[in-house]
Amino acid sequence: MHTRTRRTSLSLLSLALALCPLAHATGAQAPQGPRALPDTLPLIPLPAKVERLDGAAFTLAASTPVWARGEAARRVAGQFGALLHASGGPTLQVRDGRGKNGINFVLDGALKTGAEGYQLHSNGDGVTVQAATEAGLFYGAATVSQLLTAGNGGTLPALRIEDAPRFSWRGLMLDSARHFQSLDEIKHVLDAMAEQKLNTFHWHLTDDQGWRMEIKRYPRLTAVGSCRIPAGDGGRDPATGAERPYCGFYTQDQIREVIAYAAARHIQVIPEIDVPGHATAAIAAYPELGTLDTPLEPLSEWGVFPNLFNTEESTLTFLENVLEEVITLFPAKYVHVGGDEAVKDQWEASARVQARMRQVGAGDEMEMQSHIIKRLEKFLEQHDRRLIGWDEILEGGLPPEATVMSWRGTEGGLKAASEGHDVVMSPVTDMYMDYLQTNSSNEPPGRPASIPLERVYGFEPVPGALAADKQHHILGLQANMFTEHTRSYARLQHNLFPRLAAVAETGWSPRGRRDYADFLARLPTQLQRWQAMGIAYAQTPFQVELDSSDDRKAGTATLALRTPLGYDIHYSVDGSAVTAQSPRYIAPLTRPLPVALQAATFFDGKPLAAAASRFDLDAAALLSRRDEQLGLCPGEGQLLLRLEDDGPADGARAIFNVNIFNPCWLWKGADMDGIARVRVRAGQIPYYFQLAHDEPKRVFAPARSAHGEMDILNGQCDGKPLATVKLPAKPGADGFITLEAALPRSLKGSQDLCVRFTGDTRPTMWVLDELTLVPR
C-alpha cells in the first residue's frame, strides 16, 4: 500500500483477539497473581538451594573491592563488574588476590560443583563465589550481580547458595534468514542470555528468504542468496519506484566475532544449515542444486515452499563442502541440519529423483530424506561433530548418534528419547517466541495464536510418559524465535522479553522450586535490570486491557478491566494521573458517556508499564470496531495472522488481523436498533504466503462481479447477503477505500454480523481496517 495514517491510540476498546484453534488447544488457565514465597530472593532463575544464615548483612559500596586470583578468576571478576554496572550497579575495581570486606571470586578445580555449578556465601565480611570451572564461576557472578541490583540498596543478607542447572541445554534459536540482525543486536541478545544463565545460541542462518553465512567456496550463496525484493511498497524506492532489495549476510570474520563474544559468556553457538527443504535461496544462487528447471529467486513470501535440494551426488558433495566450512568456523559439538517442512511434491514428480531413490534403495521420499541425513551425519561424525535436526528427521529412520529437536509438540521428543536419542524440547505450543504474548490489540505482527508468559513458564521438558531410564536423554529446552513478522530489533526484544526469563528458569531451576506466582513477584525487579541494560521488553503483558458493554439508550458504558499477568490495577476517571494511591480496580465500572479512563498495573506501589493505558469512550466510539476487536467467521478455513502493511518503505506501518484462509470478520452481539447502514474502511496488502498441502483449506466465496464484492451477512456467514457492495479494482491513493452498505430495516436487536470479501484476488488481498454502524 501507499503511505497512510492509522489510529494507534489506546482510546479504542480493547477486546479479546479471536484466536485460531491452536490457541484454544493449549488449555492455559488464567494466571495466578503475584505472590512471593517466604524468604524468596529477587533472582531469575532461582538457585537450586538457598540457606539463610544468622549474622550481619553485606552492603555494597562504590569503594567495595572485587578480589580474584589467576587469569580465569580475574576474567570472571571483570565480567561481574561489567554486568553489575550494566544492570544499574556501581563500577567496582578488580584487585589481585583475596580479601575481606569485598567480593571474592575463587576458582578451585577440587570443588564438586559440576560443569556449571557454583557456591556462594555472604555475611558482613563480604561475599565469596567459588566454582570448579570458569563457567560455574561466571554463573555465580551473574547471581551476585542480580542480588546487588535488587532495589535493596545493594544489601545482601547472610546466606549460602549451592547451585547448578537442571539441564545442560538452555537455548534460544534466532532466525537471521527471514529478517537480518546486526552484530550489535546479536551481542545485545547474547548479553541478556548470559545474565539469565542461558548457554546455547542456535543460529538459523539459511532459509527460503535468505542465505546469511559467507561460504568462500560458493560465493553466489551470499552474492545472490542474501538479497530479496520485499513484497509491495516495501520493495520499491519511494522516490524512484525502483526495486529496493533487502540484503544482509555475515562474513566469516563477523561470525568468528559472534562466536568469540558468546564463548566469553559461556554460550555455545550452534549453526543451522537447512536440508533438504527451506532451500530456495541456495537454489537461486546455484540452480543445479534444485529439482526444477525454472529459475528461482530468494523469496519475499512466508509459509511452506516446495523447493528442495535435489538428491544428486553432486548436491550432497556441495552440502558436505558447505558443512566443512561451517565446521571450521564453529567449534560447537553440534551442527543443525534442519530437516523440517520438506514438502516432497517435486521429488515425487522428478524422474531423476525417483531414479536416484531406486539407486540408493529408498522405498519412498521420506527414506530418501533419511538417506541424505544419514550421509550428513556420517560426514559430521568423521569431523568430530554431532548432527541435530528438527523432529522430522525421525521419519524414515535416524542414525543412533543423531540428536532430535522436537518442535511439533513433545511427541517427537518422547519417541526419540524412548529410542535412545538425545533430545532438545522446543514445542511450537510453548516455546515459539514469535507467537503473540497477549491478546492485546497493541501486540506487533505475529503468528496466529498467543503463547502467554504463564504457558511458557509452565512447560515441563521431561514428558511424564518417558521411562525413568530414558529421561537423561532430555538435554533441555529451547525457545525459538522465527522472524517472518519481526522486521525490527524493537519487535525482536518485544517477542523475547519477558518470556525468555521463564525459559531460563525452567532450564536452570529444579522442578520443585518453580512457582509461577512467585516468579511474577520476582519479575518486576528483573524489569528494572532490563531497563538499565537497555532491553525494550514487551509492554503488553503489563498494560491494562478493557472489555466494554454499552447501553446506548441509557448513554452508559460498563467497563471491565484486566491485565494479562494479574497485577493490581489502579485507575482514574477524573483526568488525574494514575498512581498507587488511585482507586484500586475491583469490579466493573458503569459510567455515563463520555468517559476518559486511565489505568495502570502496579506491584509494591511501583508502576510496571511505561505509561498508563488510556481509553476515551463516547457514543460514536461504541459504534466502531477495529479489525483487532472482531472475531473469526464460522467455518473450516481458519488461519488468523496479525499482518503488517507493505508500506511505507521505512517507518511505522499499519497492522491488520486477517484470516488468510477466509477473509471474513465477525462482530458478535452488535446492537442494531436504529442502525441504517454499515461503513467499512478497507485496504489492500500483498498476499505473500505459500501454503503447500494446506492450500485446499483456503475458502473464498466466488466473486459475482469483475473485482468481487464486500458482503454483509448474518452471524453464520451463509445464505443471501444482507447487503452487498462491489469492490473497485484497487484502493485509493492512500491505500484505503471506504464502503457503505444499507441494511434492511427489519434488522434489530443484538445481531452477529459478518463482513467478507469475495473472490481470489491474489497477488493482493483485501483487509478490513474498521467497521462502523451508522444510525438512521
User: Which residues is 710 bridged to in the sheet?
Assistant: 725, 757
Tell me which of 175, 207, 422, 646 is the catalytic residue. Answer: 207
Q: Are 682 and 737 in contact (CB under 8 A)?
A: yes
| 3-state DSSP assignment of residue 759 | coil
What H or E segment, with its residue span, contains residue 707?
A: none
Phi/psi class of residue 440: alpha, beta or left (left: φ > 0; alpha: ψ in -120 to 50)?
beta
What H or E segment, with its residue span, contains residue 223?
A: helix 220-223
CA distance 262 to 270: 11
Tell me which of 125, 257, 301, 341 is the catalytic residue. Answer: 341
Tell me which of 278, 473, 485, 494 is the catalytic residue. Answer: 278
Of 112, 116, 142, 144, give the one whose Cα is nearest residue 128. 144
**Annotated catalytic, 108?**
no
Cis peptide before 42 (omega within 30 of 0): no
Angle between helix 183-195 and helix 252-264 axes, rounded to 10 deg: 20
CA distance 207 to 178: 7
**Annotated catalytic, 341?**
yes
Angle between helix 499-508 and helix 489-496 axes, rounded to 10 deg: 50
**Annotated catalytic, 278?**
yes
The backbone torsions φ and ψ at residue 132, rounded to the nearest 5 degrees and listed phi first, read: -85, -20
Residue 692 CB contacts under 8 Å (≥ 6 apart), including other chains: 303, 304, 305, 306, 341, 343, 345
Amino acid symbol at 696: P
Helix-, strand-, coil-residue percentages of the chain, each rounded to 5 = 25, 30, 45
Label residues 630-651 b or e (16+ Cβ within 10 Å = b).
Answer: bbbbebebbbbbbbbbbbbbee
CA distance 713 to 678: 12
Q: For 102, which DSSP code? A: E
C-alpha grid cell, residue 212: 546469511
Which active-site residues does the annotation give? 207, 278, 341
